[in-house]
Structure 1
Amino acid sequence: MSTLTRASKRPLNSGYEIPVFGFGARLSPYSARKYGSEASCGEALAQSGVSRGDVFVTSKVFKGGYNETKGAIDCGLRESGLEYFDLDLNHSPYGGPDARKGAWLALVEAKRDGKIRSMGVSNYGTHHLQGTEEYIAELEKKLGKGNGGEISVGQWELHPWLCRPDIVEWCHSRGIAIQAYSPLVRGRRFEDPTLKRLAENYDQSGAQILLGWSLQKGWFVIKGFIPLPKSGTPTRISANADVFDFELSSEDMELLTTTEYAPCGWDPTMTPVDE
């Protein structure tokens, strides 16, 4: 992690780049189209004075087919005042194959029209991912090579007690960037003996150790997860971003990693493919 900084980015399958560290916006007060925060995020960006090109903005569409997704993208852009989203994700696999295909097609068209730059999925299981990959091939056969979209980013709850090795391997083999939401396990594991011992040894908080683990996890051709910590407290937001001056040893990475399957939130990855 010594080669990473807060400004580091990594390439996406879309040809764009994504920062290696991000922030969840659900607490401000909510996030994405389902949560209704696009207007507040757009307003904050406008008031910040920061150049649009220096901010990577992600939105999500929730449990919709083609028409619902098109409407959500247009409404989100209108309410946020932005000309485009850097990334738009289908928030979950719910709705069945037809809904997932419709949502994907709407994302493909939005990317074609310059409304979004990169596209991806959230909370998909490997069976949903495989179906999306097959639908991309189907669209390319119908519309021409390169016209089926590409999975640039996948987003899941990921932390030492929920490593999802099958999903991670599937994404790594296809160059898909992996975002980790709930990387701090909603604060529920801060009393874990191993985490507390590592925090003391590295002179970091438990939250910083977990974020370091996330940044370092999965260092193959693709470097690490992209953690998305959430907080409404400015001091904690600053501390969460201050994680680029230490590196966990490989032994400590292995020590902290478990084989547990313990989501702290919902887990749509297990949804049957037809639901």
Structure 2
Amino acid sequence: MSSSETVDASTARSVLVTGGSKGIGRAIAESFAAAGHKVAATYRSGGVPDGVLGVQCDVTDAEQVDAAFKQVEEAHGPVEVLIANAGITADNLMMRISDDDWSKVIETNLTGSFRVARRAARPMTRARWGRIIFISSVVGLLGSAGQVNYAASKSGLVGMARSIARELGSRNITANVVAPGFIETDMTAVLSEDQVKAYQAQIPLGRLGGVADIAAACEFLASDAAAYVTGAVIPVDGGLGMGH
């Protein structure tokens, strides 16, 4: 299931990517679909890539999450590979973060990821096979001024993944975290040239990453080659967060 390999119908997996309408989530969905897997992606607005089953879903709503999974299950069978990617930001200095901005970021990024993982876990347990991949951030490991809420939500995914890894490992289900660094997406496109240069100066590889870099890490973690990898945090950040 690497980015250079394709699968046939007998080995294709049912894959669900949350937040698959743009940026990293869209690239992940495209990559798995190009490899021949049965891919579905949730979205709140916009669309999903061609060849991907689009499922409208707000991960902050438990009923919508359940309905989305039922739709995917009817079309592709039980979800075998879950990539919990849906996330938002509401940046501000700590003293200016409102209770609402704290709650909505935690509810989407952390609680939403928990909801989709919980819903995916029971069918995976019955099948005695599953891959759960959380998309975190280097910010969750390093911290970031002006992103206390976002950093807390992304850091929380690490503890969640490692607890799931311990709970479900005996059922041949792995749970891992991919922690992107500064990736070229719509979110980073709003940065000024000076800001980009400042970030590049902190990154040992001296450049921003691409969405394909994140997709490749997810494909590896979902593959048979990563069957003995669980509870891991895979940084894809050009070396920015090493040692954390």
Instruction: Using structure 1 for the length normalisation, give the TM-score.
Output: 0.39
Instruction: Using structure 2 for the length normalisation, give the TM-score.
Output: 0.42
Q: Which has the larger Rg?
A: 1
Q: Which has more helix, going by share of residues?
A: 2
